[in-house]
Amino acid sequence: MNKMTVRDIEVTGKRVLVRVDFNVPVDARTGAITDDSRIRAALPTIKYLTERNARVILISHLGRPKGKVVDSLRLAPVAQRLSQILGQQVGVAVNCIGPEVEKSVETLKAGDVLLLENLRFHSDEETGSPGFARALARLGDIFVNDAFGTSHRAHASIAGIAQYLPAVAGLLLEKEINTLGGLLENPVHPFTSIFGGAKVSDKVGMLRNIMGKVDCLLIGGGMAATFLKAKSYQVGTSLIEADCVGTAVRLIDMAEKSGTRLLLPVDVVVADDISDSAKGEVVDINAVPADKKIADIGPKTVEMFRRELKNSQTIFWNGPVGVAEIPQFAAGTEDLARLLPGLKAATIVGGGSTAEVIDALGLADKVTFVSTGGGASLKFLGGEELPGVVSLLDKPAS
């Protein structure tokens, strides 16, 4: 990465404003955090700063309050969890800008950590308001972006603050860029990618950009139905993106011309509907009933994918290969996930719902890397510039 990081700047005694991604899942009934992996992912940067006696001011969003104060989306529970895993008390501010917050920041001592209130309680955050960015910037001497998962947004706290403070990358952001960038620049071959999830349209840029760099593409999930339709298979009542069938045809053609093998399911699990009460049955891909939907890949496809993965040196996975949030349609995704730790390959999971499956199965520490950014990793691997990265200081030319 050619951007300066927190290691390249003096932080001792400074007020360091750190954009983190603490947008963690919260149980609507109890208010309890159900997965703290994003909080833990920020620990290396936070500890780096506290160990060097910086005064650390953390800023984050949580959920989609749409510019209004929503009590269930306050960040106090996040501060409590961070206090537990950091091993020191983390303060909580009543807001994220304003005189009262500025007073709280001024009372910080070296090594202290303060978490400001939800940025998205202010509509100016998502509109990228310069005034809101300036108000945030007044709180710090240095800005550190460690929120890779939100770096594809040109929000005030992502790209805006960098216009008013020296801006560098945190250790998580650096790791994300270097790991995902390595997939495009120098992957160890054979390189296999698994692509799933509902939509082809979300992944067109990434598929185009990775084509020719990857040896084998394994396609599952809802998007497989669109690819199967492009190959003239009957897919019953499966949801397909009709306007992407032509795109899928072109991607299949691009794979052939670039020497990338593109493998589609040979059998699938189908059901009358996609619901908790639905029952699935396995059918050959040539025998999908006209009145049923594809909900998962079948056992023959799992075995075919397994053979490819076992022969790989680099694996990148983005998107479940079935409707993984429903237990009876999660088998294909979970079977592939459980396979990863035993492989002699670099195994990289591209964030979003795939990361949630890996975390739920307790496999996060058994794969090489789990990205914290779903949308951000899609855009980055699709060759797009991320506003939150572009805005950081460049490393001096050597």
Enzyme catalytic residues: 38, 199, 352, 375
Contact indicator for 32, 84 with CB cutoff of 8 Å:
no
Q: Write out the two tokens for 82.
A: 């961070």
CA 374, distance to chain mean position in Å, is: 3
Please state, as a whole number, how many other Cβ atoms lie within 10 Å of the Cβ of residue 182.
Answer: 15
Residue 320: HSE in the Cβ half-sphere, 13 Å Cα cutoff:
23
- Residues 6 or more apart whose CB falls under 8 angstroms from that of 253 comprise none
Q: Write out the two tokens for 9.
A: 């700047």
DSSP state of 339: H
| Spatial distance between the Cα atoms of 70 and 207, rounded to a whole number of angstroms | 38
Q: Which residue from 357, 360, 358 is spatially nearest to 369, judged by alpha carbons? A: 358
* Residue 19 φ/ψ, nearest 5 degrees: -85, 115
391 — alpha (psi -120 to 50), left (phi > 0) or beta?
alpha
